[in-house]
Structure 1
Amino acid sequence: MTALLAGLAALAAVALAVGSVVLGPREVVDALLGVEGAPTFIVTGLRLPRLALAAVVGAALGLAGALLQSVVRNPLASPDIVGLTGGASAAAVLALSAGLVGRAVDAAALAGALAAAVAVFALSGRGVTGTRFVVVGVAIAFLANGVLGYALTRASLTEAQSAFFWLVGSVGTAPWGDVLRVGAVLALAALVLVVARRPLGALALDDDSARSIGARPVATRVGAILVSSVLAAVAVAVAGPIAFVAFVSGPIARRLRGRGPALVTAALVGAVVVVGADLVAQHLVPGSLEPPAGLVTGALGAPFLIWLLVRGERRKEAPA
């Protein structure tokens, strides 16, 4: 975790200093302290909100993915694979096409994610675990993609162009209001998970063993999936569906931490991934044509998914 914090701090320093105008360390510090004559607008008006939004969105997606993978007991069970992000995206684009902005889009994204979660609950059967949950979630994701396509066909050309850019996922436009909304939801979710740490810990056992010590595994699992849905929905509402962040954060965190859910580590991994991807996106293409961060995370996440699937097949084929 120390290495992740150090890496995040290093990325933050680069994000605040490097851009169309390159600043020295002293200039960045002076701007943060509000020293007269310092480039305050560049640092605190442009770069700091973007950095903060990337960090909180990444942390929210990382926590959402690791939590879902942990309680469902499947490394493929992340919000962007099982339809939660797709439901949030479809509902948010419908809201944007209707001319809604701000909290109305947040509410639509939350409703879409919760609707997808309820559909997965209803169709995956008792227990809400394993491969069935993932397969049902993938089907819901395809359904959400169809709704999304319909919404785009009904939108005007200008609305469709805006929606397409938003759908790739970007933190380029970062008002402090968005940062505060995602940060508040992230803090509330963290508080809920701290309070529920014992029931969540019991999910490491099989359901019968968990019940024998007084836990309610199905209810705990459903509550955790709802928390994951809310985190994913809020992140998607403000930054779009930044691909694969929720998916890769949990496995990376478990490799860094060892056994266990590693939720805090996954949140840090998500923050590092999005901040790093946004930095790469800002400087990937010379000139004013800046690709969104979701393009970078998608390019990195797709090979990771293939590797995870191949590794799983090799484990199945390995002799006992």
Structure 2
Amino acid sequence: MSGRTPVAVDADGNVRLPVGQVILRAQPRALIVGTVTALAVLMAALVALAWGDYPLSVPQVVQALLSDQGFATRVVTQWRLPRVIAAIAFGAALGASGALFQTLTRNPLGSPDVIGFSTGAYTGAIVSLTVVGSNVLSEMAGALAGGLLTAALVYLLAWRGGIQGFRLIIVGIAVTATLSSLNTYLLLRAQTEVAMAASLWGAGSLALIDWGDVTLVVPALALLGVVTAAMMGPLRQLELGDDAAHAHGVRIEGTRITVLGAGVALIALVTAVTGPIAFIALAAPQIARRLTRGAGIPVGAAASTGALLLLAADLVAQHLIPGSVPVGVVTVVIGGLYLIALLIQEAHQQL
């Protein structure tokens, strides 16, 4: 008889999904939203693989993926597919990271690009560029170190016998402003070619993605996804409040630090390869929460929503704007409008 736990529905109406030794719980509506979003991502991916200076039909794209079709296969598999995979994986990482931080702070503004972790990762990457030079591994290490050090600094400055979400956001905004000034200073002091490369990279772009980047970063993001899935139970307990979580045996600060580390690592790895891409981590979790209509933020639905948003934004950046701009430019424009609407909504709720 198999020892595996079958798929079942618990007393709270959540679906229990066995994944190895981990039992994942998800709301039925969240599963439906995640599935529909995943299908939309697949359709957008096919459009992205077909659309370009060398146009292809969807059947031609499928044939190029399944067999050698000469130049069409080269266009699809070598030129377009790495960028599409990167957009999906990186968008999912940004969405999941935003969901972790917004759940941890219990605030829709608790996004890594608002509270400074994206900026810290950018600072680490700039230091790596100016000291070591252009190298993917050193930029990844610098971005990860910068993000983690920024997270540690924000956490320590916000600590007052514990962590309160709104205080963490305010401290993060202050640290973001400080790091932005530091980044400007570093770029002004750098050699011209280094400063230009860092500035272009800082706009957030998928244009230079190749298979080397994909094979290096995507497995690491997948591993972090497993860690995130394992933390869902304790994280949901934290949503009930520290006292309730402690009563259920959750290690409060240990859980927060682990979630913080996983979220920073997700955002830092993406930033190391593409530069800072705003808006996705901020908006994807809230869009997913509204679609699922749940009490909390579903991390899986936020990840699939993030993948769809980044892939769609990259299509707009490549094909609908003259001259083809970095995807970060598109997300910043949309994100600014979204942030204004979110702030207005938060202000109305406070009245």
Same fold (TM over 0.5): yes
Query: Equivalent residue for 1:270?
Result: 306
How far off is 1:24 after superposition? 1.5
How far off is 1:176 after superposition? 1.4
Contact 2:83 2:209 in 1 (8 A): yes
Of 150, 154, 166, 1:120 maps to 154
User: Is it true that 1:109 corresponds to 2:139 in the alignment?
Assistant: no
SS of corresponding position for 2:239: coil
Query: Equivalent residue for 2:196?
Result: 161
User: Is it true that 1:63 corresponds to 2:96 in the alignment?
Assistant: yes
How far off is 1:97 after superposition? 2.1
Query: Equivalent residue for 2:261?
Result: 226
The one-letter amino acid paired with 1:50 is R
User: Over residues 227-252 of structure 1, what are the superposed CA-to-partner deviations in whole Å (9 max), with x where a residue is unaligned?
Assistant: 10000100000011011111111111
1:30-179 alignment runs, 5 A limit: 30-37=63-70, 39-98=72-131, 99-125=133-159, 126-179=161-214
Q: Relative to structure 1, is the Cα distance of residues 149 and 206 closer, same or farther in structure 2, using a 3 angstrom cutoff? A: same
SS of corresponding position for 1:19: coil
- Return 5+ residue gaps in structure 2 as ranges: 1-33
The more displaced of 30-39 and 253-262 is 30-39
SS of corresponding position for 2:250: coil
User: Is it true that 1:241 corresponds to 2:276 in the alignment?
Assistant: yes
How far off is 1:38 after superposition? 5.3
SS of corresponding position for 2:107: coil
C-alpha RMSD of matched pairs (Å): 1.3
User: Over residues 248-283 of structure 1, what are the superposed CA-to-partner deviations in whole Å (9 max), with x where a residue is unaligned?
Assistant: 111111111122230011111111111101100011
- CA distance in 2: counterparts of 1:36 and 1:245, whole angstroms: 35
User: Over residues 43-72 of structure 1, what are the superposed CA-to-partner deviations in whole Å (9 max), with x where a residue is unaligned?
Assistant: 001000010111111111111111111012
- CA distance in 2: counterparts of 1:55 and 1:201, whole angstroms: 26
Aligned residues: 315
- CA distance in 2: counterparts of 1:282 and 1:50, whole angstroms: 11
Query: Equivalent residue for 2:20?
Result: none
Query: Equivalent residue for 2:291?
Result: 256
Query: Equivalent residue for 1:6?
Result: 39
How far off is 1:223 after superposition? 1.2
Query: Equivalent residue for 2:28?
Result: none
SS of corresponding position for 1:12: helix
The one-letter amino acid paired with 2:336 is A
- CA distance in 1: counterparts of 2:340 and 2:320, whole angstroms: 24
The one-letter amino acid paired with 1:200 is L
- Return 5+ residue gaps in structure 1 as ranges: none
- The TM-score, its normalising length taken from structure 1, stands at 0.95
Runs of 4+ in structure 1 off by over 4 angstroms are none
Q: Relative to structure 1, is the Cα distance of residues 285 and 308 closer, same or farther in structure 2, using a 3 angstrom cutoff? A: closer
How far off is 1:36 after superposition? 4.1
Of 277, 288, 292, 2:326 maps to 292
Contact 2:104 2:165 in 1 (8 A): no
- CA distance in 2: counterparts of 1:303 and 1:37, whole angstroms: 44
- CA distance in 1: counterparts of 2:248 and 2:69, whole angstroms: 62
The more displaced of 163-172 and 121-130 is 121-130
Where relative contact order (Cα < 8 A, 6+ residues apart) is larger, the structure is: 1
Query: Equivalent residue for 1:308?
Result: 342
How far off is 1:96 after superposition? 1.4
Contact 2:286 2:297 in 1 (8 A): no
User: Over residues 139-161 of structure 1, what are the superposed CA-to-partner deviations in whole Å (9 max), with x where a residue is unaligned?
Assistant: 11111112211110122222222
The more displaced of 19-28 and 230-239 is 19-28
The one-letter amino acid paired with 1:44 is T
How far off is 1:197 after superposition? 2.6
